[in-house]
């Protein structure tokens, strides 16, 4: 949505190639005013966009004032584009704050109770990686490292292609494992182990192998307890990327680790 003309081109090509696009997803950060949003969405409608998933959550509201989300929803209605609100249930809570500015998760806890964040995974699907793992680790109990389920076997999740992401740098993110990347030109055939040692290690031997690698090569010292295997995996990768500046095409984009 930052480059609507290019998105328009993608929609047209998808249509020509008979690729059905269920929806385009937006966090609404691009919204400036009603007039420009209606102009942009009207053009996209003509290029074949029929449904827009609009993210609605406290995690988005931490960064995006709610007037932008509301503005996009309104502009979709005016442009003949269906809105898929994800998720509508949060709307009244977010709308109870001043919609002209973002609001921190602390503000949500102050207003709706100390267990507000703890209840969210029961209301909304959260992949426990990246920033979500950093949030969940402060809320849910940890387990001793040696008892963490799944660390001693390979991560099959990495080969799951049922839901995947490609970022704007040309990285394919395997298994929704944020911060791990495969270059798009390397998709479609077996990965070269020399080029992708970390992903190969995680896939065939599991997180324990990555931990041993980080310990042996860079003196990584794990904590005694972690939330789950993805939390441990993330901490090791953050250590490699940020603490020892391990240069790797797999740990991309680097800013992902710097801004955790
Ligand atoms: S442990 Fe790492 S590689 Fe395995 S599923 Fe979790 S984030 Fe992905």
Report yes or no: 226 and 142 within 8 Å, Cβ to Cβ.
yes
Ligand 1 in contact with 173 (CB < 6 A)? no
* Closest protein CA for atom 6 of ligand 1: 230
208 C-beta closer than 6 A to ligand 1: no
CB atoms within 10 A of CB 155: 25
Q: Decide: 58 in ligand 1 pocket, CB within 6 A.
A: no
SS3 165: strand
Q: Give yes or no for a contact between 239 and 213, defined as CB atoms under 8 angstroms apart.
A: no
The answer to whether residue 131 scores a pLDDT higher than 90 is no
* Residue 99, CA atoms < 13 Å, CB-side half-sphere: 13
Q: What percent of the chain has pLDDT over 90?
A: 88
For residue 88, what pLDDT band results from cuts at 50, 70 and 90? very high
pLDDT score of 128 more than 90: no
pLDDT at 9 over 90: yes
202 CB within 6 A, ligand 1 = yes
Give helix 34-46 / helix 66-79 axis angle, nearest 10°. 50
Torsion of CA 46, 49, 55, 60, to 10 degrees: -50
- Do the Cβ atoms of 204 and 173 come closer than 8 Å? no
Average pLDDT over residues 86-96: 97
pLDDT band at 206 (very low <50, low <70, confident <90, very high): very high
Chain mean pLDDT for the chain: 95
Measure the CA–CA gap between 19 and 56, rounded to whole angstroms.
Answer: 27
Confidence of residue 163 (pLDDT cuts 50, 70, 90): confident
User: What's the pLDDT score for residue 59?
Assistant: 94
Which token pair is 122?
């029961």
């Amino acid at each position: 949505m930052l480059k609507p003309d290019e998105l328009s081109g993608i929609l047209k090509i998808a249509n020509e190639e008979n690729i059905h696009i269920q929806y385009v997803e937006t966090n609404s950060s691009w919204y400036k005013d009603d007039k420009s949003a209606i102009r942009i969405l009207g053009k996209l409608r003509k290029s074949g966009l029929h449904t827009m998933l609009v993210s609605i959550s406290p995690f988005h509201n931490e960064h995006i004032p709610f007037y932008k989300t509301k503005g996009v929803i309104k502009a979709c209605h005016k442009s003949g584009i269906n809105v898929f609100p994800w998720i509508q249930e949060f709307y009244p809570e977010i709308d109870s704050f001043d919609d002209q500015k973002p609001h921190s998760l602390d503000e949500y806890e102050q207003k709706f109770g100390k267990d507000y964040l703890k209840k969210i995974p029961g209301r909304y699907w959260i992949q426990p990686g990246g920033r979500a793992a950093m949030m969940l680790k402060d809320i849910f109990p940890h387990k001793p490292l040696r008892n963490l389920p799944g660390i001693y076997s390979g991560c099959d999740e990495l080969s799951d292609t049922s839901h995947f992401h490609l970022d704007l740098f040309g990285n394919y993110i395997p298994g929704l494992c944020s911060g791990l990347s495969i270059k798009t030109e390397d998709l479609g055939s077996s990965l070269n182990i020399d080029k992708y040692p970390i992903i190969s290690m995680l896939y065939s031997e599991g997180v324990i192998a990555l931990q041993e690698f980080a310990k042996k090569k860079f003196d990584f010292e794990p904590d005694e307890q972690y939330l789950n295997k993805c939390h441990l995996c993330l901490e090791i990768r953050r250590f490699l990327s940020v603490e020892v500046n391990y240069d790797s095409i797999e740990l991309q984009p680097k800013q992902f680790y710097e801004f955790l």
